[in-house]
Chain A
């Protein structure tokens, strides 16, 4: 059982397979042809060219199929169903490959079948002489029209070559010049089928063993050559159309002239030297043409299609000999010139060819360029299969100049047979025939099943019938302008339009709607300013605060007013160690030694720290120390001045006020390393570093000690971190005079080993202790009674308040479910 050859890729497949194993194309047609006697049932998936026999086929076309050699059963059945003499399996495959080159770029227009007729170059029999002298790559082969046997002059063969190369807007090239009028000859065949077609059939049988696998080149119109390289393996082997395009005297076909149509003979492409088998595989398109079997060949100029009548060649009377069994277009082609230079060159798709631009239903270019190519026989040029329009300049292969001269006028009308074929397709697909474009002369015929099977099966076969011709959008741009039903040149998204707005109603339940309403109300309330309820100026807490203030004021004013000094100062023996160390450090100052005193406290704490500063500074002055004042606070120098001018006015010690160091810790670090550069002058503008006591001071470690007065724990920490390392390295002490609030955070520095803070006094209690140790009476003594009284009163108030809160909490706890702060 012979293998099935895929019409798409040309590869062999098992005979029982429905789909090609390589390219997944249907091997058997899907559409069943109309049932006729002895007609093989068509395979619905097959893309066979001859799926079924159509009653509309003329007998001569049908007969072509009957002379086929034994083929596969499926093919046999198809052939029987078609009632047409089908080609051999190889021929059919070749033909099908020609027709199924691609389903992407070309729609199933009327020109599809024309393009498929040409088939694949590679399917040409190797022994076929090329129609042109050029290598295979430049020539297109007629896959099925092996008309080597068909006699005819070169001009006659050109039109057939053009059949091959015409791919309905494909990359056909070149010299699709039609046979010249002088060369066109018609072959007269007996009966209904032209004999020349029988000759073709016989030739195809010879090539049945030599058919090369179908290449996919024919199918891919966008990226590959349509025709591919002409498989000219042997000398003299060429397509029959190659022979047609040959120059005179070269590769002449030995075909009996009796069997050839007149127009073919007259074209000179065929030499009636060898008989041509009467039974030739005939293309289905010819078999299914709507031409009546006995349709006489039209007289020249009589009922000519417009596209032929418009041809200047038509008026030459070249094709005048009537043929009863020829379709009109065939009978009128004799006056057309055929480029005998050979088959048209394959067109590189890389040149920007758009084969979908072929006008639908329009005259094939090869037919319309009859006069353009009249008499032109460029050596080495293939038979032009497609006469390109001016707009289709990009499609032209190199060297196909004559095709570019085609004007729009030559392809202004659609041949009848093309429109009728399209109508048949519509009928088969469920679409309405081309009513508007159908010619009155030809009746609309249904697409035969085998032709239907030839249509490329799309992966997603549309279930719905195609739109009617009248409903299709008429292309307005590009080479296919004027055609309907073509793929748009411009994507749809180019035509911007406002999309249809569709209202999507969200399904909301009642519960959700309730929540939505609630949320909306909440959000609306947020934007509205709620009226603040008027607050009473006098509340219980107000009276409590007044009471507390009164009590505290009395506790402070009374001792001050009375000035009884009832409370004793701390005993010197009972003072804390840090106060003792502070006192001892001060006592160890050498006389006249410069000491650095940092006034880094705020004016708000001047009441507490001035009392301490007065005592400590006085003690230091009493030890003969030279005071050098500095501050990292802008008000520090002023505090130092205030202290020295008020509290120390009686002593009137000499001092140097270096002023202010900005920058915080960075300034302290800079001062610790180079105090001369940082503060070269004092606040009066005097160069103090040149005179005593600063003449011998180059760094902070040169001071006898550093005493920092601050209420801020962070300031104290900065001094300890930035300055104390230098002091500690030099063995110089650092003393702290702190506010009571800073003492807890500075004490850890005092309790290190070695001590970072050598001594400190904190708060009025520390000042009092220091005064007690020093034996002086200072501000601390003055404030001591009020201070003690105030502390006790405050403690008592807090204790009473705490007790009251506890009692209230205990009383209210059994009454309320929520306690005010659980223990």
Chain B
């Protein structure tokens, strides 16, 4: 590692240290230093995104192919022109309504992709998995006895169904009565709410664990920067 690299690392560490402290100053309350660090971060992040898009898509997927093989890349004129059209129209509030077709293209493609993925990637496999929860033949593969596997499957099945029922709000039209869910659906929904609460508890714990890990990493960074500095001093 050269001196330049050391210097750059030292300077970078110092910059990182300063920015970390500025962000941690939020513990004391919102302050201008915290906002300053935040705006610097946003600018840098947006700049990185713009450059990455330019390099990865515009340059390597449009410009270079046209440059190297114009005839073979004629089909790329359509997205290029549509993209320019989108950029020009959406950049101006007055012209924004005219940029609907390219946005509609994106929305249509995204919707179709979402439908296909949801059906083939989630609904079918998860429904199949729920259907085989009580399959005793899978117990050995899991390494559980039949009884334990059955209980486990039953709980998971009940939890899955009750969780879905909690979000079910379909009612039957009744004369002279307000639209309400049937009693048994409401009761089952309350059971599903317990499973949801448990799931959210696990999620909360996972988020805290992730945040704690980030804190540990930052603390470790600060320590690694300060200790040599203190030792030097």
A residues neighboring B (CB under 8 Å): 537, 542, 545-546, 549, 552-553, 556-557, 560-561, 604-608, 611, 634-635, 637-638, 659-666, 669, 678-681, 683, 685, 711, 717-718, 720-722, 724-725, 739-745, 748-749, 751-753, 756, 762-765, 782-783, 786-787, 790-791, 794
Q: Is the CB of A552 within 8 A of B125?
A: no
A556-B216, A608-B213 provided; 13 other pairs, C-beta below 8 A? A556-B212, A557-B219, A608-B210, A638-B52, A665-B114, A681-B64, A711-B210, A722-B121, A740-B209, A765-B209, A782-B220, A783-B216, A787-B209
Name the B residues within 8 Å of A680 (CB-CB).
60-61, 64-65
Query: Nearest Cβ distance between residue A645 and chain B, in whole angstroms?
Result: 11
- 8 A Cβ contacts from B29-70 to A: 29, 45, 48-49, 52-53, 55-57, 60-61, 64-65
Q: Are A783 and B220 neighbours in the complex by a CB distance under 8 Å?
A: yes
What residues of B have a CB within 8 angstroms of the CB of A679 in the complex? Answer: 56, 60-61
Interface string of B182-224 (1 = CB under 8 A from A): 0000000000000000010011011111101111111110010
B78 at the interface (CB under 8 A from A): no
CB-based contact B129/A725 at 8 Å: no
Binding site for A on B (CB under 8 A): 27-29, 45, 48-49, 52-53, 55-57, 60-61, 64-65, 106, 109-110, 113-114, 116-118, 120-122, 125-126, 128-129, 132, 138, 199, 202-203, 205-210, 212-220, 223
Residue numbers in A under 8 Å from B117 (CB-CB): 665, 669, 718, 721-722
Residues in B neighbouring A678, C-beta threshold 8 A: 61
- Give 5 CB contacts A-B under 8 Å: A549-B27, A560-B216, A663-B110, A764-B209, A791-B209
CB of A728 to closest CB in B, whole Å: 10
With A722-B113, A743-B206, A752-B128 as given contacts, are A607 and B60 in contact (CB-CB < 8 Å)?
A: no
Q: Given the interface contacts A537-B29, A739-B206, does A669 sit within 8 Å of B56 by beta carbon?
A: no
> Taking A608-B210, A742-B206, A743-B206 as contacts, is the C-beta distance between A666 and B217 under 8 angstroms?
no
Give the distance to chain B from A612, nearest Cβ to Cβ, in Å.
10
- Asked whether, in the complex, the Cβ of A787 is within 8 Å of the Cβ of B214, the reply is no
User: Do B199 and A744 touch across chains, with their CB atoms under 8 A apart?
Assistant: yes
Contact between chains at B199 and A665 (CB < 8 Å): no
Interface contact A665-B57, CB-CB below 8 Å? no
**How far is B65's CA from A678's CA once the two chains are assembled, in angstroms?**
11
Pairwise interchain contact A753-B128, C-beta atoms closer than 8 A? yes
- Residue among B53, B64, B138, B210 having the largest count of chain A Cβ atoms under 10 Å: B210
A765 vs B212: C-alpha distance in the bound complex, in angstroms?
Answer: 12
CB of A611 to closest CB in B, whole Å: 7
B148 to chain A, nearest CB (A): 15
Q: Is the CB of B126 within 8 A of A748?
A: yes
Query: Whole-angstrom distance from the CB of A794 to the nearest CB of chain B?
Result: 6
The closest CB in chain B to the CB of A682 belongs to: B60
Q: Which residues of A contact B45 (CB under 8 A)?
A: 635
Given contacts A638-B48, A685-B60, contact A741 B206 (CB under 8 A): yes
If A665-B110, A740-B209, A753-B129 touch, whether A608 touches B27 (CB-CB below 8 Å) is: no
Complex: chain B residue closest to A610, CB-CB: B217
CB-CB < 8 A to A659: which residues of B?
52, 55-56, 60
Please state if B53 and A717 are interface contacts (CB–CB under 8 Å): no
A607 touches B218 (CB 8 A): yes
Instruction: Say how far B128's CB is from chain A's closest CB, in angstroms.
Output: 7
Check A721–B212 contact: CB distance below 8 A.
Answer: no
The minimal Cβ–Cβ distance linking A599 to chain B, given in whole angstroms, is 12
A561: chain B residues at CB < 8 Å are: 223
Contact assessment for A717 and B122 in the assembled complex, using a CB-CB cutoff below 8 Å: yes
Complex CA–CA separation, A661 to B65 (angstroms): 17
Binding site secondary structure of chain A: helix
Docked-complex contact B125 and A749, CB < 8 angstroms:
yes
The docked-state distance in angstroms from the alpha carbon of A678 to that of B214 is: 34
Our pick among A665, A721, A743, A753 for the contact of B120 (Cβ within 8 Å) is A721
Chain A residues lying within 8 Å of B208, measured Cβ to Cβ, are 791, 794
When A669-B113, A718-B117 are in contact, do A762 and B212 touch as well, CB less than 8 Å?
Answer: no
Which of B64, B206, B216 interacts with A790 by CB under 8 Å?
B216
User: Is B49 touching A635 in the complex (CB atoms < 8 A)?
Assistant: yes
Do A786 and B216 have beta carbons less than 8 Å apart? Answer: yes
Bound form: Cα–Cα A604–B213 in Å: 11
Question: Shortest Cβ distance from A716 into chain B, in angstroms?
Answer: 11
Q: B213 near A787 (CB under 8 angstroms)?
A: yes
Asked if A666 and B52 sit within 8 Å, CB to CB, the answer is no
What is the chain B residue whose CB lies nearest that of A612?
Answer: B213
| A753 CA / B113 CA spacing, docked (Å) | 24
Which residue of chain A lies nearest to B156 when distances are taken between CB atoms in the complex? A751
List residues of chain B with CB within 8 A of the CB of A762.
206
CB pair B217–A752 under 8 Å, yes or no, is no
Tell me the bound Cα distance from A762 to B52 in angstroms: 28
B144 CB to nearest A CB, Å: 11
Chain A residue numbers with a CB within 8 Å of B206 are 739-744, 762-763
User: B78 CB to closest chain A CB, in angstroms?
Assistant: 15
User: Do A752 and B214 have beta carbons less than 8 Å apart?
Assistant: no
Considering the complex, give the chain B residue whose CB is closest to the CB of A608. B213
Chain A residues contacting B199 (CB-CB under 8 Å) are 744
| A725:B110 contact, CB within 8 angstroms | no
Chain B hits for A635, CB < 8 A: 45, 48-49, 52
Bound complex: CA of A724 vs CA of B117, how far in Å? 10
Closest Cβ–Cβ distance, residue B79 to chain A (whole Å)? 11
Q: How far is the CA of A210 from the CA of B125 in the complex (A)?
A: 102
B-side contacts of A756, CB under 8 Å: 121, 125
Chain B's nearest CB lies how many Å from the CB of A798? 9
Please state if A607 and B214 are interface contacts (CB–CB under 8 Å): yes
- State whether B122 touches A786 (Cβ < 8 A): no
Query: How close is B32's CB to chain A, nearest CB, in angstroms?
Result: 15
Minimum Cβ distance to chain B for residue A420 (Å) = 75
Q: Check A752 against B129 for contact (C-beta < 8 Å).
A: yes
**Nearest CB on A from B207, distance (A):** 4
Say yes or no: A662 contacts B210, CB within 8 Å: no
Nearest residue (CB) in A for B198 is A744
Contact of B207 among A660, A720, A721, A740 (CB under 8 A): A740
Complex alpha-carbon distance, A560 and B109, angstroms: 49
Taken together as a complex, chains A and B put the C-alpha atoms of A660 and B205 apart, in Å, by 31
Which B residues are in CB contact (< 8 Å) with A681? 60, 64
Give Cα distance in the complex from A812 to B219, angstroms: 41
* Pair B49/A634 contact, Cβ less than 8 Å: yes
Q: How far is the CA of A137 from the CA of B133 in the complex (A)?
A: 101
Question: Which of chain B's residues have a CB closer than 8 A to the CB of A742?
Answer: 206
Do B209 and A660 touch across chains, with their CB atoms under 8 A apart?
no
List of A residues within 8 angstroms of B223 by Cβ: 557, 560-561
Nearest A-chain residue to B45, judged by Cβ: A635
The 8 closest A-B pairs by CB, nearest first: A607-B217, A721-B121, A721-B117, A740-B206, A608-B213, A740-B209, A634-B49, A741-B206
CA distance A685 to B63 in the complex (A): 12
Which A residues are in CB contact (< 8 Å) with B129?
748, 751-753
Instruction: Give complex CA distance A753, B208 in Å.
Output: 31
User: Which residue of the partner chain A has the closest CB to B222?
Assistant: A557
Q: What is the distance, in angstroms, from B38's C-beta to the closest C-beta of chain A? A: 13
- Greatest chain B CB density within 10 A among A659, A720, A744 is at A744
Residues of B within 8 A of A790 (CB): 212, 215-216
Contact across chains for B113 and A552 when beta carbons are under 8 A apart? no
Q: A721-B118, A721-B121, A741-B203 are in contact. Are A752 and B126 (CB under 8 A)?
A: yes
Contacts of A787 in B (CB 8 A): 209, 212-213, 216
Cα separation A680 to B138 with both chains bound (whole Å): 44
Q: Is the CB of B210 within 8 A of A763?
A: yes
